[in-house]
Structures are given as C-alpha cells and as structure tokens.
Chain A
Amino acid sequence: MYAKAPAGQTGRGHIITCTIEHKAVLDPCKRLQKEGFDVTFIDPPKDGVVTAKMVEEVMRPDTILVTLMWANNEIGTINEIEAIGKLCKSKNVLFHTDATQWVGKMPTNVETAGVDLLSWSGHKIYGPKGIGALYVRRQRPRVRLQALMDGGGQERGFRSGTHNITGIVGFGKACEIAKQEMENDAIRLGKLRKKLEQGVLSQLDTCAVNGHADKRLPHITNISFGFVEGEGLMMAVKNIACSSGSACTSASLEPSYVLKSIGVGDDLAHSSLRLSLGKWTTEEQVDYAIGEIVKAVKKLRVMSPLYDMHKEGIDLSKVEWAHH
C-alpha cells in the first residue's frame, strides 16, 4: 500500500523491487504494473540478500522508485540497505523500505540508510494491531505522495480520516520501549537462536538453515528438514507456535514463494519451519522446542518413504515421480 508511486508519475516509469518481498509490497507493485509502470523483480541469490550491485544492474534512466525490505520476514536475511540507499541517492531515485521486521529490533536511522520512505507496523514490536507508520522524507529530496484516501485532509492530506488515537499512542509507546530494550534483546535472542539451530542441526541429518548465515536478524530462523513435510511437522510440534514453509493451511497448498525464489527446491520448501524468538522467549522454551522438533522429525522420518530411499542411496531427483 505504501509502495504507491510518487505523485505526478502515473503510468510512466520504472520500479525496482524483489521477488521475496512481503505481499504488502509485491501486490501493490503488481497493481502498478497493470497501471502501466514497468516493474523489475530482482531474483535474490541463494543467501537471500539483495545487494546494491544487483540493484545497479537493473537500474535505468527512467527508474523512479526502488522498494526493498530491510529484512525478510520468512528467513530474516538483511538486505544491503545503506549501500542501496547511497546508490539511489546518487541516481536521484526514491528509495522505500519495508522495515516491518527491522524497526524495533535493530537501530534504524533514515539518514545513514539513505531511505526516503520507510514503513513499519505496531504489532511486530509488541504494539497494538492495526496501526502502522510511514516515514516520508521532507527535504533532500522532498517526497510528494498521492493521498491514500481523501476526505478531511488529516495526516497532512495523505490519509484522511479520524486519527486512531489509542493505536497511535500505543504504537508510540511500543517504539519507546523497543528503543530502550532492543539492544539487550538482540544479543540475548541471537544467542538463543544459535542454540536452537545448533541443537536441532546437531541431532538430525539432512537439515539446513535457509538464507545467509550471518546477514540476518537475531530472532528469526527458517530450517528445512529433508524428507518430512512441513504441515505434518507442524502438527507434531503443536505446542510450538511456528509456521511452515509450506502454506498448507491456506487453500493454495503452495510452498513458500520466498524459499522457492532463493532456490530451495520445491521438496525442501515443503519441508521447512519458520521459527521466531521474542522478548519473552526463555532458554527453557528453546530447550523444549529443540526436543520437540527433533522428536517430531525422527518420528516422521520413520514414516517417510523418502527417508528410506535416501538411506538406500536412491537419488530422489532421478526418480520418475507421478505428478498429480
């Protein structure tokens, strides 16, 4: 929604984004495509990190907007935001970042990051649901936006309507608390995440953490477990709140488009869990999660014909599967 093209450019110009953005950016970009804008979707490499070089390679004289997330919501990888910001500035291209996973977790400075537009939301930082914010640069350059809705001129005319006071106050307080606590939280959660990953990976074969090993947020991990299916796995770890790389709970039954985009095969994309740690996650809970996940994967592998074939030395990619 916030990825609306700058005013006065309707239907003309080039926009750069990437294939693993959240739908909140992908869908507006697709709409803008229909309205006549040219959109390039960068396909990130296996580590999931979009670099300034990748952006530069697809930039054109008519590029008007680059919109790239600061960090990915499924795999936690962090894009080269500062370098991309510099690049955009040097080319006079507006730069928007969806920083929903970043703000409140890591220090954010729109000046050093060279960001012109930055969006984030309350519910990801322990604030109220249903409220978000868009930072809009007022000088060097002054960003002009089309109104999101008309009717009263509130919020400087960008978004008319009576202010959601409780949401705004709650969101503000959440930002204040996050600023005080995020540094310690990040250190603590980074250690716990490492423990979680090592605990699982050391006890199970054919598992892998998806995305870049270091360039990622401290509180998110996404692990593929070969030869077990994500939804079945989620059922087996029902006391752990997690989501599957496979969006089986939706009607689509499609595996995660993020994992597919970074080259995780369809089979492993179906076999992935996204786990996140929060402010109130304890070491005991992490130990419990490790135990439950290992137990569940082992149980499901006893049931998995693919694990048998793997152990018998059959190359699963060479099997002629019946696609249904």
Chain B
Amino acid sequence: MAYGPKIIDHYENPRNVGNFGTGESMKADKRIGVGLVGAPECGDVMQLCIKVDPSTGRIEDAKFKTFGCGSAIASSSLATEWLKGKDLEGAEAIKNTDIVQELSLPPVKIHCSVLAEDAIKAAIADYKRKNGIPVEDHDHDHAKA
C-alpha cells in the first residue's frame, strides 16, 4: 500500500496514544466518554476517549487506541488532535471526508475514516448518556464491551 507522508507520519509518531484508566475506572468518571467501534474479525477496532472540562464544556483531552492498519491508526491519531479544544458540537461536526482529505487516504481505506467518525460520535454519545444529555441514536455503530 503506497501511503502519503501524512499517514506515515501519524503511523510512525502517533499522537495521543492511550486512555484515561481502565475500562471500569473510565466508566465511573462522568467527565469521560469512550467510543469503541469496529470488530477484530474485520481487522479494525478503535477506542477513542474524550475528557470534557465540565466548566467550559470543551474537550480538554483526547486519547486513542487502535487495532488496525496504518490508515486506521493515522485516522484515529488525527481525530484526537482535532478533538482537543473543541466543544461537543464542534466535535460532532467532524466528518470522515475531512479525514480523507487531510490524510489523502486511498479509496480502499476510506472505511478507516468512517470508523474514526463513528468513534468520535460514539465517544460523545457515551459522555452525553453519562451526563443525562439527550443522545441521537448511534447505537448501531457502537460496540459494547
């Protein structure tokens, strides 16, 4: 697979790898939203975690972990960079096509950007659910651990 320099850069120097604790501790923390999308047998699983500052409503930190190809890793790494500092509305506005454009993803890898968008939406939905904010239905693209 011939990748562009931006994908290679994110793959080799991924930004914001990690999470904010174990699955259980993140579940208990109301400031944190976790999105887990994809499936191992499809070859991609993304976990995207956001930490929201309750006083400003902005995403103060974002972390990812991804099982997947170089494009999947790059897409989720880029997503965490874009999420930081955004409010939820701004975060929800991130589209997979933005990721495709920024990284110059080859056509066969567009699903990686779709997965990253799904992960963002799932993380926001998880945060909203925890904080009693009404959520649009994104359950269909959200894995349950």
Contact = CB atoms under 8 A, between A and B. Distances in A.
Interface size range of chain B in the complex: 35 or more
B30 interface: no
Interface stretch (A25-33, A128-136, A246-254): A246-254
Interface in A45-89: none
A303 B65 contact: yes
B111 A324 contact: yes
Contact of B1 (A231, A303, A308, A322): A231
A312 B23 contact: yes
Interface stretch (B35-43, B88-96, B129-137): B35-43
Q: Interface size for chain A: under 10, 10 to 19, 20 to 34, or 35 or more residues?
A: 20 to 34
Contacts of B68: 229, 232
A266 B66 CA distance: 17
A249 B2 CA distance: 9
A316 B40 contact: yes
Contacts of B1: 231, 248-249
Contacts of B19: 308
Contacts of B142: 322
A304 B140 contact: no
B85 interface: no
B72 interface: yes
B143 A322 contact: yes
B14 A324 contact: no
Interface in A225-254: 227-232, 235, 246, 248-249, 251, 253
Contacts of A319: 143-145
Contacts, number: 106
A265 interface: yes
Contact of A302 (B3, B17, B115): B17
Contacts of A228: 67
B87 interface: no
A229 B23 contact: no
A143 interface: no
A322 B39 contact: yes
B103 to A, nearest CB: 14
A305 B70 contact: no
B46 interface: yes
Contact of A303 (B38, B66, B69): B66
Contacts of B69: 229, 231-232, 235, 248
A265 B45 CA distance: 16
A324 B67 contact: no
A229 B115 CA distance: 16
Contacts of A316: 40
B141 A309 contact: no
B70 A235 contact: yes
A321 B143 contact: yes
Contacts of B72: 229, 232
Interface string B68-86: 1110110000000000000
A323 B42 contact: yes
A314 B23 contact: yes
A231 B66 CA distance: 13
A246 B143 contact: no
Interface string B41-52: 111111100000
Contact of B43 (A235, A248, A249, A307): A248
Contacts of B67: 227-229, 232, 303-307
Q: Which of B43, B73, B142 has the most CB of A within 10 A?
A: B43
A265 B66 CA distance: 19
Which 10 pairs of residues, A with B, have the shortest CB-CB distance?
A266-B41, A321-B39, A267-B40, A305-B47, A231-B69, A305-B65, A270-B43, A322-B143, A304-B67, A320-B144
